[in-house]
Chains A and B, each alone.
Chain A
Amino acid sequence: MSPQTPPPVVRTNGVSLRYGKVLGLNNVTLELPSGCMAGVIGPDGVGKSSLFSLVAGAHVIQTGSVEVLGMDISQRRHRESICPRIAYMPQGLGKNLYSTLSVYENIDFFGRLFGQGTEERQSRIAHLVTSTGLEPFCERPAGKLSGGMKQKLGLCCALIHDPDLLILDEPTTGVDPLSRAQFWDLIEQIRLSRPEMSVLVATAYMEEAARFDWLAIMDAGEVLATGTPASLLAKAGTSSLEEAFIALLPEERRRNHQAVVIPPIRTDDSSPVAIEAQSLTMKFGDFVAVDQVDFRIASGEIFGFLGSNGCGKTTTMKMLTGLLPATGGQAWLFGHPVNPKDIETRRRVGYMTQAFSLYSELTVEQNLVLHARLFSVPGELIASRVKEMSARFGLNDVMDALPDNLPLGQRQRLSLAVAMIHKPEILILDEPTSGVDPIARDTFWQAMIDLARQDGVTIFISTHFMNEAERCDRISLMHEGKVLVSGCPADLKAERGAETLEQVFIDLLKEAGTRDDQTNQGDGKRFIPPSFAATSSFDCPSVPHRRYSLSRVLSYARREALELYRDPIRATLALLGSFILMIIMGYGISMDVENLAFAVLDRDQSTASREYTLNLTGSRYFIERPPLTNYQELDQRMQSGELSLAIEMPPDFGRDLARGRQPAIGAWVDGANPQRAETIQGYVNGMHSLWLSDQATHHRASMPDTTLIHIETRYRYNPDVKSLMAMVPAVIPLLLIMIPAVLTALSVVREKELGSIVNLYVTPITRLEFLLGKQLPYIGLGMVNFFLLALCAIFLFQVPIKGDLVSLCLAALLYVSAATALGLLISTFMRSQVAALFGTALITILFSVNYSGMITPVTSLEGGGRIIGQIFPTAHFLIITRGIFSKALGFPDLQKEFFALVLTIVILLTLCTLLLKKQES
């Protein structure tokens, strides 16, 4: 390089990255030039994203060193200092955006994260949305934007803080050609306005890379070549980058590659029509996904369906397969109208879905066999058919492998083999080659061409690769539910006088640009540099990095609250969940033993015996059932659960009693539920002694008074011994820990699953700020829940609060904070939402029901359970709720428990902060 060249913006040295057994990057040493547009190209899964996430600081560096903007980013201090100068747009449409938040709210969130004041933020957002043409859609949720607009929004979010390094990971994958062209124009303009900014782009579209200043070609975790596009083409001696890529591959990878040859199709007008559609329409509510689509596909033809993500290709295919009933129009397969209930036509169609959709739990062979069986391939043919397919699609070596362990190309061939197992006459393939490398793609195409030309299978294929479209016999260009044009690729180009199909497509899209999404795009609006002249007062763009910033906490809290507010199931559970469960438990869990069914086997039938049983009948605890006549009946009625208690009065009871012979009365108690049985025994004993003393005082003065002592039982705090009085103060702590903990645990893991956790990795927010921001809205909701529960207790269950209400509220606030912190702690361990949900629910229920004194007092517990009972927050809060609800206590009496709760919060949050990772590892 010449001496004037500025230092590289990124320098990597011997960087390797492993994901378990898989080597993502292998000893990559690179210098990316600054102040220009540097591209990393290669198919999916070669390590482009891994490299970028290292550079952005999102992933922990395993081996080697990475220097970004002159700083070694393996050190946290350096990372924090350059983090505000980098903007990172991860792969996947709008992956770091929040789909329920509007365009404005998304940009606003990032502005707040970078500590911009209201005025600065508003003016920056205004600039960004006008420049990108998003202005009219500020109120639209990000999830409802088209692919191209999502990427523009991502760009706005990335540019809000004037980064010096912009990292774009596959920003145009799945975006229609026009939006793609517009996107690159926008980037061009931004670079004009800020020439010092370096841009790093990864892409799988080799055509796009031609306009970059500098390229690195990657394959299998290694860099194959670097240089300007022209120098790379010269080196490989090819005319296109895609060919150059193949030419630059190592020898053994290239060996089996052959250029795809397409024999001409032998169709004439007489060949039968395999697929036909007439004004096929699909509406989802107001949204027209497919709008009056017509086409006729002859048998044996390869018909290509082009269009961006979400333009209606998949929906059209689903209607053809009968997966979705059309809302208008009609489709025919082999001349028969498509009917979802017609099982027979399904046997003639093979369908390959967009994403890999075979059973990843079954081996390759099991998948093939299962599909053969379900398509009723005769049993004796199955083995030979499976063999045939595996040989044809090159799967022989991997028959026992699980699909997840196969490379993408092989998996796609497996899908094709499965779709072909029953020898269908039509194959419907939905973007079968997305993300497959060029060599595998060519192999795949060869297989399809053989099917079409040799076996006469009609192929209906969708793709967004233009060079694949060239291989089809005829294509349709689809956009926003409409077919723009159909015809043979060569004719289309000739008609339009365009050199490439892409150009044809872009021209057509510009003409069709009718919908509101399109109106403001591509009218040559110049990018107005936001900082920039009009807002010179913000010369120092972002507030210098501070260790702690309340505005960042609030920024996350605001966002979390908005998201929750827009998710009906979570919001319902958060607001009403505990209320509903409280009602269920309040009525459902009762320790009152009442209305017990009993019957008497009276073998005496005297006045005395009847008098005895009247004792029971008169009590509110017992309900008398028809009397028993014999032992067998007693057995049966107790067995069925009808009777909980049976009393047997012995023969001659009355006479023996009168003579002082101490007759023995028999009582049988249903012991199936031991707790209840003990209570029944208690009642019966009590009844019996009452009867005895009654006998002594009233009837038989001659009997000695046997009373030695009186035991005066005082049921304290709950004199009527009502279950509700005892249950309600115990259920409140259970519900106030379970639901808030589950919700906070989910909220962090959700970000992990959806990918927006990357904002924690690459923005200046600290771990504690992130945690507190996440926690705040749930503490608020927890308090709302607490008030609901308290109202429910007082008014519905009529359990009064005897003690100090203010202390109770304070305790609830501390407890809810501890509960949400516990949820956060659990979520640092969990990877999936399901695990977080069940894990948190199990732990909180188990610990609070069994070890916190809800049923068995902590003092009665032994071993580990007792230790848990001493430290788990529910145990402390339970003492407080019982104390304040039932025992008329207040803060002074319960200081110790309050202190314990505060301590718990501090410990939990410290642990969370230490365990939460600020980088992916």
Chain B
Amino acid sequence: MRLANIFHLGCKELHCLIRDPILLFLIVYAFTVGVYAAGIAIPETLNRAPISIVDEDDSPLSERIAAAFYLPHFLPPVFTTLGEMDSRMDAGYDTFAINIPPDFQRDLLAGRPPTIQLNIDATRMSQAFTGNNYIQTIINNEVSEYYYRYRGESPTAASLAMRARFNQSLTQIWFGAVMEVINNVTMLSIILIGASLIREREHSTVEHLLVMPVTPFEIMISKSWSMGLVVLTSCAVSLTLVVQRALAVTIEGSLLLFLAGAALHLFATTALGIFMATVARSMPQFGLLMMLVLLPLQMLSGGVTPRESMPIVIQHVMQLAPTTHFVALAQTILYRGGGIEVVWHHFLKLVIIGTILFILALRRFRKTISLMA
């Protein structure tokens, strides 16, 4: 009988969701347009970087260097003067400014290594590091090509063969789109289940539920499975249609394994959503609460910036958050093609965290549900 209740109540949730255009729109938007937009937002790590050149040499070599900066990595360079260079950087027009000194070409040919100055606006961390690499490589190539009259080959002691694994061409689409799917799973599951509980409270249907022969446990688990199912399905559709088909990203690992992990994660986040919905009294309050809870969960999970660069205390605290393990297992499976033998411990931790959250939420739900009516 119990299972039947859980089933019927869950079906009711699905019916209610179908008739809620705003939430439906949110789900569809997040998993299609949202994912697509996140994928193509920053196509390359260095894209259209603004650069200016102060050419005090005005030689064939300096022209040659200037001509080596072109789209898509760099915007066409702006030629300027030393005085203007500073004010342009102050105003934030340029991220990079190259200063080629007088007699640059002559000194080079005379065997007196000249010095090129490369100014970088280090407040723009995203372009600063990568750009520095690119620019140094470009200048070195151009100079040695000019000097030796042939490309590249200068005698070195040992060569370094650098290869990227898993995402050989290091395209951002790959990273952005999949991370968006992962973040949406967390966000939507919390919103959907929170909204469904608060809607019951606002429409006072929760009163009705309470006088019926159903228990809080049944109510809670039926909400979890139905909302979890919606998110899981949308996530699978989004990964196959938007990420694999529309964005033509190859997913390395097993989609099914990832979905199994996502299901465990949903178990934990839906419990969290219920807990938050019992704390908030209305949808607006729930929204405000979400801003304070969801942002840290997502930002500190390792999905935005790698965990190893966070303070050690935060790394430890975030071990308790389900998002940390979900992001880790998702990245391992989807990016690196890892199997269950590499991610099993994340699965286990999700089960433990989910169970604890579920028990806490259930206790709080039992205690507060009669006050909601």
The smallest beta-carbon distance between B174 and chain A, in angstroms, is 7
> Which chain B residues border A353 with CB–CB below 8 Å?
204, 207-208, 373
> Which chain A residues border B46 with CB–CB below 8 Å?
678
A691 and B127 alpha carbons, distance in the complex (Å): 26
Q: Are B204 and A355 in contact, CB atoms less than 8 angstroms apart? A: yes
A635 and B73 alpha carbons, distance in the complex (Å): 31
Q: Are A677 and B118 in contact, CB atoms less than 8 angstroms apart? A: no
A721 and B121 alpha carbons, distance in the complex (Å): 10
Q: Which of B213, B289, B299, B337 is within 8 Å of A347, CB to CB?
A: B213
A688 and B160 alpha carbons, distance in the complex (Å): 7
Q: Are B338 and A358 in contact, CB atoms less than 8 angstroms apart? A: no
A707 and B283 alpha carbons, distance in the complex (Å): 65
Q: Are A667 and B132 in contact, CB atoms less than 8 angstroms apart? A: no
The smallest beta-carbon distance between A87 and chain B, in angstroms, is 30
A294 at the B interface (CB under 8 A): no
B8 at the A interface (CB under 8 A): yes
The smallest beta-carbon distance between A753 and chain B, in angstroms, is 9
Q: Are A674 and B167 in contact, CB atoms less than 8 angstroms apart? A: yes
Proximity bits, A73-87, B CB within 8 Å = 1, else 0: 000000000000000
Q: Are A323 and B160 in contact, CB atoms less than 8 angstroms apart? A: no
Q: Are A711 and B118 in contact, CB atoms less than 8 angstroms apart? A: yes
Residue on A with the closest CB to B176? Answer: A674
Q: Are B161 and A710 in contact, CB atoms less than 8 angstroms apart? A: no
B311 at the A interface (CB under 8 A): yes
Stretch at the interface among A119-127, A338-346, A484-492, A808-816: A338-346
Q: Are B45 and A675 in contact, CB atoms less than 8 angstroms apart? A: yes
The smallest beta-carbon distance between B268 and chain A, in angstroms, is 20
Give the most central of A359, A577, A685: most B CB within 10 Å. Answer: A359
The smallest beta-carbon distance between B307 and chain A, in angstroms, is 10
> Which chain B residues border A662 with CB–CB below 8 Å?
155-159
Residue on B with the closest CB to A675? Answer: B45
Q: How large is the interface on B (under 10, 10 to 19, 20 to 34, 35 or more residues)?
A: 35 or more
Q: Which of B126, B164, B292 is within 8 Å of A580, CB to CB?
A: B292
- B1-41 residues at the A interface, CB under 8 angstroms: 1, 4-5, 8-9, 12, 15-16, 18-20, 22, 26, 41
> Which chain A residues border B139 with CB–CB below 8 Å?
709, 711
The smallest beta-carbon distance between B52 and chain A, in angstroms, is 11
> Which chain A residues border B336 with CB–CB below 8 Å?
638-641, 670, 672
Proximity bits, B124-161, A CB within 8 Å = 1, else 0: 11111110110011011001100100000011111111
> Which chain A residues border B214 with CB–CB below 8 Å?
343, 374
B83 at the A interface (CB under 8 A): no
Q: Which of A657, A678, A714, A887 is within 8 Å of B133, CB to CB?
A: A678
> Which chain B residues border A704 with CB–CB below 8 Å?
155
The smallest beta-carbon distance between A796 and chain B, in angstroms, is 12
Provided the pairs A640-B332, A685-B133, A856-B126 are in contact, do residues A674 and B16 lie with their beta carbons within 8 angstroms?
Answer: no
Q: Are A685 and B160 in contact, CB atoms less than 8 angstroms apart? A: yes
Q: Are A584 and B300 in contact, CB atoms less than 8 angstroms apart? A: yes
A883 and B125 alpha carbons, distance in the complex (Å): 15
The smallest beta-carbon distance between A706 and chain B, in angstroms, is 5
Provided the pairs A590-B305, A837-B287, A857-B95 are in contact, do residues A716 and B210 lie with their beta carbons within 8 angstroms?
Answer: no
Number of A residues with CB within 8 Å of any CB on chain B? 134
Provided the pairs A344-B213, A596-B308 are in contact, do residues A855 and B126 lie with their beta carbons within 8 angstroms?
Answer: yes
Proximity bits, B107-130, A CB within 8 Å = 1, else 0: 010000111111111111111111
B171 at the A interface (CB under 8 A): yes
B320 at the A interface (CB under 8 A): no
A636 and B341 alpha carbons, distance in the complex (Å): 10
A723 at the B interface (CB under 8 A): yes
Q: Are A674 and B171 in contact, CB atoms less than 8 angstroms apart? A: yes
The smallest beta-carbon distance between A765 and chain B, in angstroms, is 24
B49 at the A interface (CB under 8 A): yes
A325 at the B interface (CB under 8 A): yes
Q: Are A636 and B342 in contact, CB atoms less than 8 angstroms apart? A: yes
A95 at the B interface (CB under 8 A): no
A354 and B373 alpha carbons, distance in the complex (Å): 11
Q: Are A717 and B212 in contact, CB atoms less than 8 angstroms apart? A: no
Provided the pairs A580-B292, A640-B338, A708-B113 are in contact, do residues A360 and B203 lie with their beta carbons within 8 angstroms?
Answer: yes
Proximity bits, B203-231, A CB within 8 Å = 1, else 0: 11101101111110000000000000000
Proximity bits, B325-343, A CB within 8 Å = 1, else 0: 0001001100111100011
A660 and B157 alpha carbons, distance in the complex (Å): 6
> Which chain A residues border B289 with CB–CB below 8 Å?
569
A626 at the B interface (CB under 8 A): no
A700 at the B interface (CB under 8 A): yes
Provided the pairs A366-B15, A715-B122 are in contact, do residues A665 and B288 lie with their beta carbons within 8 angstroms?
Answer: no
Provided the pairs A591-B126, A682-B129 are in contact, do residues A860 and B75 lie with their beta carbons within 8 angstroms?
Answer: yes
Residue on B with the closest CB to A729? Answer: B123
A292 and B131 alpha carbons, distance in the complex (Å): 78
A166 and B196 alpha carbons, distance in the complex (Å): 42
A862 and B1 alpha carbons, distance in the complex (Å): 59
The smallest beta-carbon distance between B122 and chain A, in angstroms, is 4
> Which chain A residues border B1 with CB–CB below 8 Å?
376
Residue on B with the closest CB to A746? Answer: B284
Q: Are A714 and B119 in contact, CB atoms less than 8 angstroms apart? A: yes
Residue on B with the closest CB to A643? Answer: B165
Q: Are B45 and A357 in contact, CB atoms less than 8 angstroms apart? A: no
A742 and B292 alpha carbons, distance in the complex (Å): 13
Q: Are A709 and B157 in contact, CB atoms less than 8 angstroms apart? A: no
A640 and B345 alpha carbons, distance in the complex (Å): 11
A375 at the B interface (CB under 8 A): yes
B246 at the A interface (CB under 8 A): no
> Which chain A residues border B140 with CB–CB below 8 Å?
708-709, 711
What are 19 residue pairs bridging A and B, where the CB atoms are less than 8 Å apart in the complex? A347-B213, A361-B16, A375-B213, A376-B1, A584-B295, A584-B299, A662-B158, A662-B159, A675-B126, A678-B170, A685-B133, A692-B158, A706-B155, A708-B143, A711-B136, A713-B120, A718-B123, A834-B283, A861-B48
9 A-B pairs with least C-beta separation: A671-B167, A671-B164, A718-B122, A591-B125, A672-B335, A833-B284, A361-B19, A837-B287, A860-B48
The chain A residues found within 8 Å of chain B, CB to CB, are 318, 321-325, 340, 343-344, 346-347, 349, 351, 353-355, 357-362, 366, 370-371, 373-376, 402, 569-570, 573, 577, 580-581, 584-585, 587-597, 636, 638-641, 653, 657, 660, 662-679, 681-682, 684-685, 688, 692, 695-696, 700, 703-704, 706-719, 721, 723, 725-727, 729-730, 742, 746, 750, 832-838, 841, 850, 853, 855-857, 859-862, 879, 882-883, 886-887, 889, 893
The chain B residues found within 8 Å of chain A, CB to CB, are 1, 4-5, 8-9, 12, 15-16, 18-20, 22, 26, 41-42, 45-50, 75, 87, 89-95, 108, 113-130, 132-133, 136-137, 139-140, 143-144, 147, 154-168, 170-172, 174-175, 195, 203-205, 207-208, 210-215, 280, 282-285, 287-289, 291-292, 295-296, 299-300, 304-306, 308-311, 314, 328, 331-332, 335-338, 342-343, 370, 373
